Structure 1
Amino acid sequence: MCDELNGDPAIRCAILTGDGSAFSAGGDIHAMRSKEGMFAGSGMALREAYRNNVHGIVRALYALDMPLIAAVNGPAVGLGCDIVCLADIRIAAATATFSVPFLKLGLLPGDGGAWLLPRAIGMSRAAELFFTGDSIDAETAALWGLVSRVVPLGRLTAEAERLAQKIASMPPHALRIAKSLMRAGQSASFDTLLEMSATTQALAHYSADHKEGIEALIDRRPPTFIGA
């Protein structure tokens, strides 16, 4: 699915939300206890299951070219919380909660959460959540920077769609490049990012969308970007 999204230039923004009362309840603890499903087999088999299944999910979401909005409608537990961190913009319903209770089960964040969560909320707060297994509510998540806003549950979908439509009105090529620059900025040196910025900016100056943006501003009208 993510490959299809990346391959369609008409798609300028994506929304990820839960189906039901939870955003994601995390791993199936009953399957863990009975060593069934993904948790069946030897330790090496389970390692490969994580690499091929869980890691496949997080890698695919991380590799999305277009902006991704997480609309967190309820509990985001374990892998669910770490998936929230993969989104570029995260909004929550007032009913949302967030937790990474791996240690309570004698487990570790096997989904990349030890990399994702500290980047979303800082090392100290991420350590507090990982080391205690505590849950935080939506308002605390907003205070900590895990989500950018909290809205009533009944408005969550409309708010996510309103935000997606606003993002989708931007020039599609520049939008995806802006995301890639922000992503690179998390690990690249400042000098490297400046070089990347100069190159991509120079190309953008020769785009039809740049010309349209200038003309629309002068004409005092909304621009229409076509991805050219």
Structure 2
Amino acid sequence: MSERDETAGTVRLERQGAVAVLTLDAPKTRNAVTDPPVLDPLVAALEAVGADRGVRALVVTGAGKAFSAGGNIHDIRNRRGMFGGPADQVRNAYRAGVQRIPRAMANLEIPVIAAINGPAYGAGCDLVFMCDLRIAGASARISSNFVKLGLISGDGGLWFLSRIGGPAVAAEMAFTGRAITAEQALAWGLVSRVVPDAELMPAALALAQEIAANPPEAVRMTKRMLQQAGRVDLPTMLDMAAALQGICHAGEESRLAIAAASEAATRAAP
């Protein structure tokens, strides 16, 4: 991926040094991610980021007033595209369609930050929780609103929500379908901070750049460890930590970082 913007009509991918910014840009559907014109370039952009070892952090956001409305409500109502046909056809359409997003996100080794600039509903809510970190603008609204449409989360969103919010929060959001404010999301620990809308992207980029300034392989390994936390028992986690730490200690990246820290400590000593 080059430093120049890459545009696929409904998704914009750009580089700012070691940070990539992925912007959903389909205002007519409020950045609905189930439409193939959005879904396909979104997955392609995630794969491009994953293949570029020069990218150390990714920010995901939406253009306009919405982060993402999730599914295209007109297609859902009219049972078009992935929402039409008998049950087995819909099942296969989900597998070949919107479920490509969580798979592509799970394959990313770098930290991903959601900059939630407005409503994030349905599959848009799920996309928020597929990210590692979440910063909300003051106008953000988050809703796992599937039950209000007589549906469930078809892209694995509850898997992410239950791990981030815990069983009680996930149950309240999933069973009510209620939209919560940015401040409520902060109180529930679903986002790490809330900022004025105008400060959202500067805050997200500053966080991404802070992460990107760290030794990249250590960051990738740290993400891998965080992904395994809560999924494996302690002995397995300790074995994994020892193995990855051995790689870190033997690597040039760690040697240079430790040398720089040691020199800085020496200079700061009285």
> Per the shorter chain, which TM-score range?
over 0.9
TM-score (norm 1): 0.94
Query: How far 1:42 sits from its partner (Å)?
Result: 2.2
The residue that corresponds to 2:161 in the other structure is 117
1:22 aligned onto 2:66: yes
1:42 aligned onto 2:105: no
Question: CA–CA distance in 2 between the matches of 1:76 and 1:55?
Answer: 17
| Correspondence for 1:56 among 100, 116, 120 | 100
The residue that corresponds to 2:216 in the other structure is 172
| Correspondence for 2:123 among 73, 76, 79 | 79
The amino acid that maps onto 2:87 is G
Query: How far 1:32 sits from its partner (Å)?
Result: 1.4
Query: How far 1:107 sits from its partner (Å)?
Result: 0.8
The residue that corresponds to 2:109 in the other structure is 65
| Correspondence for 1:203 among 230, 247, 255 | 247
The residue that corresponds to 2:6 in the other structure is none
Q: Report how many aligned residue pairs link the two structures.
A: 221
The residue that corresponds to 1:138 in the other structure is 182
1:188 aligned onto 2:256: no
Query: How far 1:9 sits from its partner (Å)?
Result: 1.4
Question: CA–CA distance in 1 between the matches of 2:48 and 2:230?
Answer: 26
Question: CA–CA distance in 2 between the matches of 1:19 and 1:45?
Answer: 32
Query: How far 1:39 sits from its partner (Å)?
Result: 1.5
1:94 aligned onto 2:138: yes
Query: How far 1:143 sits from its partner (Å)?
Result: 0.8
The residue that corresponds to 2:19 in the other structure is none
Query: How far 1:131 sits from its partner (Å)?
Result: 0.8
66-75 vs 40-49, greater mean Cα deviation: 40-49
The amino acid that maps onto 2:234 is F
Query: How far 1:38 sits from its partner (Å)?
Result: 2.1
Unaligned runs of 5+ in 2: 1-44, 266-270
The amino acid that maps onto 1:160 is A
The residue that corresponds to 2:49 in the other structure is 5
131-140 vs 30-39, greater mean Cα deviation: 30-39
Query: How far 1:2 sits from its partner (Å)?
Result: 2.2
TM-score (norm 2): 0.79
The residue that corresponds to 1:226 in the other structure is none
Question: CA–CA distance in 2 between the matches of 1:68 and 1:177?
Answer: 14
What are the superposed Cα offsets for residues 54-94 of structure 1, whole Å, 9 maximum, x if unpaired? 10011111221100000000001011111111111100000
Higher relative contact order (Cα pairs below 8 Å, separated by 6+ residues)? 1
User: Match of 1:54, SS?
Assistant: coil
User: Match of 1:205, SS?
Assistant: helix
Report sequence identity in percent. 45
The two structures, once aligned, show a CA RMSD in angstroms of 1.2
Unaligned runs of 5+ in 1: 222-228
Question: CA–CA distance in 2 between the matches of 1:156 and 1:205?
Answer: 37
What are the superposed Cα offsets for residues 101-143 of structure 1, whole Å, 9 maximum, x if unpaired? 1111111111112211111111111111111111110011011
| Correspondence for 1:106 among 134, 150, 171 | 150
The structure 1 segments of at least 4 consecutive aligned residues displaced by more than 4 Å after TM superposition are none
141-150 vs 21-30, greater mean Cα deviation: 21-30
User: Match of 1:64, SS?
Assistant: coil
| Correspondence for 1:32 among 51, 55, 76 | 76
